[in-house]
Amino acid sequence: MRIVIVDDSGPRASVLEEGLREAGYDDIHLVPPRGAFVARLERMAPDVVLMDLGSPSRDTLEEMLVVSRALARPIAMFVDQSDEAMIGAAIDAGVSAYVVDGLRKERVKPVLDLAIRRFSAFARMQAELDEARTALADRKTIDRAKAILMNHRGLGEADAYTLLRTTAMNQGRRIVDVASALITASSLLGEQH
Amino acid sequence: MAFLPLTDSAVPIVARAKGFAEQQGIALSLVRTTSWATLRDRLVYGQVQAAHMLAPLAVAVSLGLSQQRAAIAAPFRLNVNGNALVMSPGFAAALDPDPEQRVTDPLATAHDFAAAIGLHHRKPLIGVVHRFSSHALMLRYWLASAGIDPDRDVVLRVLPPSLMVEAMRGGEIDGFIAGAPWPNIAVAEGLAEMIAIGALIWQRGIEKVLAFRADWLEAHPDAVDRLLVAMASAAAWCDDPRNRDELAQLLSAPEHVGEAAEHLRPALAGRMLLRAQGPTIDVPDFLHFHREAAGFPWRSQALWIYSQLVRWRMAEPSSENERAAAETFRPDVYRRALGRIDVPMPGASMKLEGAIGKPLGVGAHRGTLTLGPDRFFDGRVFDPHDIAGYLSGLPSRRP
């Protein structure tokens, strides 16, 4: 069974490819949806195409599936009306699947299940990474604000932090917002730090 | 509600941002989507309850022509017109050098276009946003009027609207037809020139509709009615020239269209730049949302779409398909929902399309309703009761 993954995100496509290989599928190709990608895809004559639901190029792909004369058998969206939950899960996970006519449901379902799991896991990982990045950036901002307070008010590090926290609590704002306001104000006053 | 980032997504955006939905007790959330396929899937599989949809796509999904078949119900039109065809300056050089002459005489330009095809170094590649788009049907109609076979003499390449300008820049296409703001951006950046304007091909063309799954619409009449009232109020707000600048600003937000307000304003004002640093032309009907009962889903227009799908062999001619297409548009729901507010209500659900030459007062249940001229550029009239007769008079796809 030849599987083509059409995806813009290198890491996500790799995560999916790896999963499929572990599951024993070995005829897997990655195609980024750029330029003349449909012509490449057409030549590959895939049995299954997995594509990011968020890709703006889905309309281009579907058009090829309708008009292609090169494909021996028609390919259509994998839809199993008996399994609404699965369709919902696929859309939630951001994956769409196109399957060649005549391929049995039992053969396709494990591939799609795996794609859904991997896409979801990737989205979770991405969210966690974004969160971690934000946390790191916040910590840097707070450190700079602390340094300003330590310089100007002769406070120790712990006291500088307590002052930021108390101010934030009194104003009902987040510590990082108070810290960045302090940094802005300080730079407007021409301070160097 | 799912939408694509386009100037004509204005009505749902305004319904939410200006509180019209909230006033009706509707917590409207908008899901920005980048392909029509994904918008269709979200609607068909119930991830959203409503969508800003290409009218021909709504008909195609009802007919089972676009992946999973599902009965779609469109009780409201979100706008009238709004498209333009642009071509590269190289291609445009073979047409009438006066760009105003070009767009105001679509019949002559179609013939010039036919001649220009032979002079071009390749079969012209024209971007269309979807096979089931009003743009593609309008382009096919216009090309065919000059004897061009759109399936043989040009290559129609499907690209999402937001990628058209980049494809133009990269030389992947020679031109494209799309909704504002994309043609305006391509012209302003000098990548293309204005060749044809939707509102001058069909003066009152069908464009986007508010689409629901028919079963959901039947099961939630109260929510549907309130949403329609919100949309109608938002449409009136969008059409008011005093709100134009605010609307352009609102649309330019990254969560909406995400393009500069200066690119969005021309379509709203009906002032089209025809060539970079060149002349502009006023097309007051370029895009409108409310006047002339713009929201009313004329069944005759659903049938015009059906006629074009049959013409280009995308749909089989059959009485079942004809009925399914007509039933996609739901004037009955429009009447039920908006009967309690003050909007003029057409008495009929079908009309001859293309028969109005100058503003015409028509039968209305309440108030007065004047319909603007709705001519096709070639003067043909579509009679929804004689589709076969209409089609026999049109050039169509060769077998």
For the ranges A65-69, B121-125, B221-225, which has the lowest average pLDDT? A65-69
Residues B159 and B274 in one domain: yes
Q: How confident is the model at residue A83 (pLDDT cuts 50, 70, 90)?
A: confident
For the ranges A89-93, B90-94, B127-131, B364-368, which has the lowest average pLDDT? B364-368
- Please tell me the predicted confidence (pLDDT) of residue B399: 57
Q: Which residue in the set B38, B129, B131 is minimally distant from A53, CB to CB? A: B38
- Please tell me the predicted confidence (pLDDT) of residue B280: 93
Residue whose entry in the numeric block shows the structure tokens 């008079």: B393
Q: Which fold would CATH assign to domain A133-188?
A: Arc Repressor Mutant, subunit A (1.10.10)
Q: How far apart are CA B33 and CA B54, in angstroms?
A: 13
Contact B268, B244 (CB under 8 A): yes
Residues B266 and B173 in one domain: yes
Cis peptide before B181 (omega within 30 of 0): yes
Residues B239 and B299 in one domain: yes
Contact B88, B116 (CB under 8 A): no
Q: How far apart are CA A152 and CA B267, in angstroms?
A: 55
DSSP letters of B107-159? HHHHHHHHHHHHHSSSSPEEEES-TTSHHHHHHHHHHHTTT--TTTTSEEEE-
Q: How far apart are CA A100 and CA B137, in angstroms?
A: 29
pLDDT-above-90 percentage for chain B = 92
Residue B322 forms part of a structural domain: yes
Residues B87 and B73 in one domain: no
Q: How far apart are CA A61 and CA A38, in angstroms?
A: 6
Residues B51 and B189 in one domain: no
Whether residue A88 and residue B159 make contact (CB cut-off 8 A), yes or no, is: no
Q: What is the pLDDT of residues B32-64, one digit of tens each?
A: 999 999 999 999 999 999 999 999 999 999 999
- Please tell me the predicted confidence (pLDDT) of residue A87: 83
Contact B140, B308 (CB under 8 A): yes
Q: Does the pLDDT of residue A125 top 90, yes or no?
A: no
Residue whose entry in the numeric block shows the structure tokens 């109609």: B141
Q: What's the predicted TM-score (pTM) here? A: 0.89
DSSP letters of B66-92? SSS---EEEEEE--EE-EEEEE-HHHH
Contact B179, B42 (CB under 8 A): no
Q: How confident is the model at residue B301 (pLDDT cuts 50, 70, 90)?
A: very high
Residues B239 and B252 in one domain: yes
Show Cβ contacts of residue A26 under 8 Å, excluding neighbours closer than 6 positions.
Answer: none
**CATH code of the domain containing B272:** 3.40.190.10
For the ranges A105-114, B146-155, B313-322, which has the lowest average pLDDT? A105-114
Q: Does the pLDDT of residue A191 top 70, yes or no?
A: no
Q: How confident is the model at residue A170 (pLDDT cuts 50, 70, 90)?
A: confident
- Please tell me the predicted confidence (pLDDT) of residue A102: 84
Mean pLDDT of B362-380: 88
Residue B148 forms part of a structural domain: yes
Which of B36, B67, B135, B168 would you mutate first to test chain A, the one with the most A CBs within 10 A?
B67
Tell me the residue range of the domain where B104 lies.
83-204+261-282
Q: What is the pLDDT of residues B334-360, one digit of tens each?
A: 999 998 887 888 989 999 999 999 999
Contact A97, A50 (CB under 8 A): yes
Mean pLDDT of A4-20: 89
- Please tell me the predicted confidence (pLDDT) of residue A89: 86
Q: How far apart are CA B160 and CA A61, in angstroms?
A: 11
- Please tell me the predicted confidence (pLDDT) of residue A35: 80
What is the maximal distance between C-alpha atoms in chain A?
78
- Among residues B392, B235, B391, B314, the alpha carbon closest in space to that of B56 is found at B314
Mean pLDDT across chain A, nearest whole number?
A: 88
| Cα radius of gyration rounded to whole Å, chain B | 20
Task: With H, G, I as helix, E, B as strand and everything else as coil, classify residue A61.
Answer: helix
- Among residues B115, B52, B226, the alpha carbon closest in space to that of B43 is found at B52
- Please tell me the predicted confidence (pLDDT) of residue B168: 96
Structure tokens at B234: 């938002």
User: By a Cβ cutoff of 8 Å, what residues of chain A touch chain B?
Assistant: 35, 53-63, 66, 76-77, 79, 84, 87-88, 91-92, 96
Q: Pairing state of beta strands A3-6 and A48-52?
A: parallel
Q: Pairing state of beta strands B31-32 and B2-3?
A: parallel
Q: Count Cα atoms within 13 angstroms, Cβ side, for B137.
A: 27
Whether residue A59 and residue B159 make contact (CB cut-off 8 A), yes or no, is: yes
Mean pLDDT across chain B, nearest whole number?
A: 95
pLDDT-above-70 percentage for chain A = 97
Residue B398 forms part of a structural domain: no
Residues B276 and B295 in one domain: no
- Among residues B18, B62, B36, B48, the alpha carbon closest in space to that of B326 is found at B62
Q: How far apart are CA B133 and CA B231, in angstroms?
A: 22
Q: Does the pLDDT of residue A193 top 60, yes or no?
A: no
Q: How confident is the model at residue A68 (pLDDT cuts 50, 70, 90)?
A: confident
Amino acid occupying residue A71:
L
Q: Does the pLDDT of residue A82 top 80, yes or no?
A: no
Contact A168, A123 (CB under 8 A): no
- Number of A:B CB contacts under 8 A? 59
Total of domains in chain B = 2
pLDDT-above-70 percentage for chain B = 99
Whether residue B67 and residue A77 make contact (CB cut-off 8 A), yes or no, is: yes
Q: Pairing state of beta strands B125-128 and B175-179?
A: parallel
Residues of chain A with CATH 3.40.190: 3-128
Which of A34, A52, A59, A86 would you mutate first to test chain B, the one with the most B CBs within 10 A?
A59
Residues B249 and B275 in one domain: no
Q: Does the pLDDT of residue A25 top 70, yes or no?
A: yes
- Please tell me the predicted confidence (pLDDT) of residue A27: 96
Residues of chain A with CATH 1.10.10.10: 133-188
Whether residue A91 and residue B130 make contact (CB cut-off 8 A), yes or no, is: no
Mean pLDDT of A97-121: 88
- Please tell me the predicted confidence (pLDDT) of residue A11: 86
Task: With H, G, I as helix, E, B as strand and everything else as coil, classify residue B395.
Answer: coil
Q: How far apart are CA A110 and CA A106, in angstroms?
A: 7
Residues B188 and B159 in one domain: yes
Residues B54 and B116 in one domain: no
Task: With H, G, I as helix, E, B as strand and everything else as coil, classify residue A82.
Answer: coil
Mean pLDDT of A70-97: 82
- Please tell me the predicted confidence (pLDDT) of residue A192: 58
Q: Which fold would CATH assign to domain A3-128?
A: D-Maltodextrin-Binding Protein; domain 2 (3.40.190)
Structure tokens at A84: 């609404």
Q: How far is A90 from chain B (nearest CA, A)?
A: 10
- Please tell me the predicted confidence (pLDDT) of residue A122: 86
- Please tell me the predicted confidence (pLDDT) of residue B14: 98
Residue whose entry in the numeric block shows the structure tokens 């496509």: A13
Mean pLDDT of B71-85: 97
Amino acid occupying residue B114:
A
Residues B278 and B238 in one domain: no
Residue B391 forms part of a structural domain: no
For the ranges B151-165, B229-243, B301-315, which has the lowest average pLDDT? B151-165
Whether residue A88 and residue B46 make contact (CB cut-off 8 A), yes or no, is: yes
Cα nearest neighbour of B151 on chain A: A67
Residue ending a domain, among B282, B316, B348, is B282
Residues B298 and B331 in one domain: yes
Whether residue B157 and residue A35 make contact (CB cut-off 8 A), yes or no, is: no
